[in-house]
Amino acid sequence: MTMPVDPAGRHVVILAPMPLEMHAIVTAFGLSPTSDGEDAPWTGRVGRSDVTAVHIGMGPPLTRVATSRLFDGSVPGHRDVDHVMIAGICGGLDPDIEVGTVINPEIIVEYTSGATYRHNPPGDAPRAGKLMTTEEATLDSELSKRFREEGCLGVDMESSAVAEVCEARGCPWSVYRCIGDRFFDGLLDQRIVAATNPDGSGNMAEIERLLAAEPELAVKLERLSSDTTRAARLAAEAAVRGCLALDG
């Protein structure tokens, strides 16, 4: 079913890197599918905004492509975008900030280039600290400690790419991230990272192989799944509040 939209209304697009983040966004925003396609956009309305949610996959390259596509007038069904959001989980860097904490960074940093972007989300929630965007998931504890020493509260793989493309297009953007894991808690390791597909879904064959070889890994995976699912929900709910704040 396609949700009718007001062509004169504000259009907000929210990007979801991973399937669990997309599910959380669809639920929190109360969206409906536009078609039966696996990665088809979902649409709805929150406050005075028409909302479109898109699953984009993980990492800066996929994010740049997906965000740039939002501004491509040659794409069938193109509609102008007034605000771009991204919502989902991030890795925590501060032992004093618990899993399940939504962060509202003041600065987004791209690790590769060092480029920085000032975060000005809608609403009056206080902003603090930095969010670091890396090209891939990092489990390097020394690098993570350095990020923390530089004032970063969390690390993700997409936010700076959204900021980069949107600022080049003069389009407002905002980031909604919740800590889903922390490197020093030891739940995430390179094997689990390697068992994640580029679209953010799990490689079930590889996960089953890992569990067959190491059954005790199931405890870690269950905890990680629970924590990240809750964090995705909290990030999506924060994005809803941001969308409503656009109404003033």
Three-class secondary structure of residue 149 per DSSP: helix
Fold of 10-245: Rossmann fold (3.40.50)
Give buried/exposed letters for 34-73 (b at 16+ CB in 10 A, else e): beeeeeebbbbbbeebbbbbbbbbbbbebbbebbeebbee
Contact status, residue 246 vs residue 12, Cβ threshold 8 Å:
yes
**pLDDT tens readout for residues 156-208:** 999 999 999 999 999 999 999 999 999 888 887 777 777 777 777 778 888 88
Of residues 224 and 100, more confidence is placed in: 100
Its pTM stands at 0.90
Nearest to residue 57, comparing CAs of 25, 22, 23?
A: 22
Please state the domain extents for the chain. 10-245
Give the tens place of pLDDT for each residue, 24-75: 999 999 999 987 666 789 999 999 999 999 999 999 999 999 999 999 999 8
